[in-house]
Structure 1
Amino acid sequence: MDEHVSDAIGRPDLIDLGGGLLCLRFETLKVVSALAAVRRLIETGTVRPGDTVIDSSSGVYAHALALACHRYGLRCRIIGSTTVDRTLRAQLEILGVHLEQMESTDDLRLDQNRRVRRVREILAQNPDYHWMRQYHDPVHYLGYREVAETVRSEAGGGALTLVCGVGTGVSSGALGGCLRESDPGTRVVGVQPFGSVTFASDGVPDRDIIIAGIGSAIPFGNVDHTLYDTVHWTGFQAALAGTVDLLRRHAVFAGLSSGAAYLAARWELELDPGRTVVFVAADTGHRYTDSVFARHREAEAVEDLKPLDIADTSELQLPWARMEWRRAGAPRQAQFDRTA
């Protein structure tokens, strides 16, 4: 029996979609990460029950941190993106979170920079607050080992490919790293939106949307570029096709980044059908009802889509591109200065 709802929400489902394709489906991906991070901070005495933790979030991490704080008796303050919707705002308010949401903007770089700047302003006024720094503190890598062990055990002993949205780098990095401990040949495939600095697609904006949660307009310290064998960049229309097909074909109701990962995973499986390919579905589709699922008639058939294979990021083009990253280091614009 679970001791707290966060245990149930954080535990993913591993679903066999057939033909060597597995879906690692989370209700809210970052719950296991936030729980483990907060638990470690309490164990080390960095924070104590009653203390306040603060961070910036586009939505998923805000919910995860709120649940961790509820469980361990901490106060929570979130500087939220414009993407935090009404349903999440209500949950956070009832859970006692102090949410400060940024004004609407179409510029992700402006949104992220404003949020981080506001966090720094609040910390200057409240030096006793603890900044969780989900983008940069490796404490967030904790929590995924048990998930990786479940995947390895239930997927069998064959060759494995992990496909996951990159975002802060924590989930794909932690899962990929743990899986490689038992099999160094495990392939890690990162999924990015266009317009993100992390893998140098910032020069190719997507006019429809920047997929919140899997890209970034600022360098993230938790992204280890040398973990990734391959990178896929998907625009909104490609991700829409994947998201709708995932529901129509497999009845999995998941978010837009999950659809992008599903699309990439199908392609990787087609290229190497001898491997088992597991992709991460980071959240449910509820907050995408109007922006994605209501537009399902616009979705192209996934069979009609294929990525543009490129050899250099200067060749990136919408709506979908793929590149063998070969565990190379960070591009110039994604290099994080830890002394700053």
Structure 2
Amino acid sequence: MFDHIADAMKQPDVVRLDRDTYVLRFEMMKLYSALEAVRHLLATGVVEPGDTLMDSSSGTYGYSLALACHKYGMKCRIVCSTKVDDNVRRQFEMLGAEVDQVRVPPGPLVDKMDQGARLARVAEILETEPGVHWMRQYHDSVHYLGYRECAQFLNKEFGGEPFTLVAGVGTGAASGGLTTALRELNDDVRLVGVEPFESVTFGSDPVEDPVASISGIGSPIVMGNVRHELFDRVHWVGFDAAVSATVELFSRHGVYAGLSSGCNFLAARWEAARETGRPCVFLAADTGHRYAENVYARPGALDHGVLDLAPRRIDSLDQLALPWSVMDWDRRPFHHHLKEHAQ
């Protein structure tokens, strides 16, 4: 029995999709991060009961923080993306969160401007309103802590045997937190990162996706929680391929999930095919409901040819190309690849 709905919602399921491909499916993965971060901050006296906790979010972290604040009796403030629709905004507010939604002009740079505008609003609030604690989901390693419990669950599910984890790079908290804890339990866990083009995190920002950028697994800003030296390989996936893979994941396996899950599914199938007999587990971080219009109802979404695609194998970042590229990262820091790219 659970004491709060957030504790029930964070629990994942492992589902086998085919011989070596598995999905770790969540209703809302970032609850692991938010719940433990708030508990830890209270336990260590960094914040006091009733304080205001604030962060920037394009959706799932904001929802997770609102639920965590609801559980622990904290005030919550969400500086949210232009992508957050009125339905989600109302849910934030009904959970007791105060919502600041940024406005940016429409156009091809809307995603990059959106994140910058959110961080500028966060800075303004911190400067003018005392008593607000910024959760810093992009940079504070406190967000690693919650994934230890999930890592123990996943390690038990696979009996301590070797496997590969495929995760969207995102803020680095889930991919880094899970992998760090897993490797303490099992020294043969590989981490494969997935991100979109136009992200600075692994250097794909010079390659523009002509359709749209994928939020949640990449970023136009540097995120301190990303530890590049944890990653064995990186895949970059374009928007059209991501949409088709997301719809294919649902139509073929019944897993109704978000856009990052489709990207991870595409990469995981390729990874599993390369090494028969080694389980490959990919993260499905949330459900597909907020993608009903812009992904599942998108024209051409039922093009099932995406799984016949093969990625472009590259050795340096200047070879990156749509719709899908892959590169061995070999657990090296990012500056190593920047130097190669500059030569």
* Residue equivalent to 1:131: 134
Matches within 5 A, 1:148-187: 148-187=151-190
1:140 to 135, 138, 143: 143
Amino acid at match of 2:322: L
Q: Deviations over 1:24-44 (max 9, x none)?
A: 011111011000000000001
Q: Does 1:234 align with 2:261?
A: no
* Residue equivalent to 1:337: none
Amino acid at match of 2:334: A
Q: Residue 146 of structure 2: SS of its match in structure 1?
A: coil
* Residue equivalent to 1:99: 99
Residues in 1 aligned to 2:208 and 2:83: alpha-carbon distance in whole angstroms: 18
* Residue equivalent to 2:74: 74
CA-CA distance at 1:120 after TM superposition? 0.9
* Residue equivalent to 1:338: none
2:59/2:81 contact within 8 Å kept: yes
1:272 to 271, 275, 283: 275
Q: Deviations over 1:139-164 (max 9, x none)?
A: 00011112111111112343200000
- Change in CA separation of 1:43 and 1:168 when aligned onto 2, cut-off 3 Å: same
* Residue equivalent to 1:16: 16
Please give the TM-score of this superposition, normalised by the length of structure 2.
0.94
2:118 to 115, 118, 122: 115
* Residue equivalent to 2:295: 292
Residues in 2 aligned to 1:284 and 1:10: alpha-carbon distance in whole angstroms: 12
CA-CA distance at 1:22 after TM superposition? 1.1
- Structure 1's unaligned 5+ residue stretches are 335-340
Q: Does 1:326 align with 2:330?
A: yes
Equivalent residues, number: 334
Amino acid at match of 1:12: P
* Residue equivalent to 1:38: 38
Residues in 2 aligned to 1:173 and 1:17: alpha-carbon distance in whole angstroms: 24
Moved more, 158-167 or 78-87: 78-87
Residues in 2 aligned to 1:278 and 1:251: alpha-carbon distance in whole angstroms: 17
Residues in 1 aligned to 2:77 and 2:160: alpha-carbon distance in whole angstroms: 43
* Residue equivalent to 1:302: 306
Please give the TM-score of this superposition, normalised by the length of structure 1.
0.95
* Residue equivalent to 1:312: 316
Residues in 1 aligned to 2:337 and 2:68: alpha-carbon distance in whole angstroms: 33
Q: Does 1:216 align with 2:198?
A: no
CA-CA distance at 1:177 after TM superposition? 1.1
1:251 to 228, 241, 254: 254
Amino acid at match of 2:144: Y
1:198/1:331 contact within 8 Å kept: no
- Change in CA separation of 1:331 and 1:103 when aligned onto 2, cut-off 3 Å: farther
- Structure 2's unaligned 5+ residue stretches are 339-343
Q: Residue 289 of structure 1: SS of its match in structure 2?
A: helix
- What RMSD, in angstroms, separates the aligned Cα atoms of the two structures? 1.5
CA-CA distance at 1:198 after TM superposition? 0.1
Residues in 2 aligned to 1:268 and 1:88: alpha-carbon distance in whole angstroms: 35
Moved more, 309-318 or 289-298: 289-298
Q: Residue 103 of structure 2: SS of its match in structure 1?
A: coil
Task: Percent identity, please.
Answer: 52
Moved more, 73-82 or 105-114: 105-114
Residues in 2 aligned to 1:65 and 1:273: alpha-carbon distance in whole angstroms: 39
- Change in CA separation of 1:68 and 1:267 when aligned onto 2, cut-off 3 Å: same
Residues in 2 aligned to 1:232 and 1:303: alpha-carbon distance in whole angstroms: 15
Residues in 2 aligned to 1:20 and 1:150: alpha-carbon distance in whole angstroms: 19
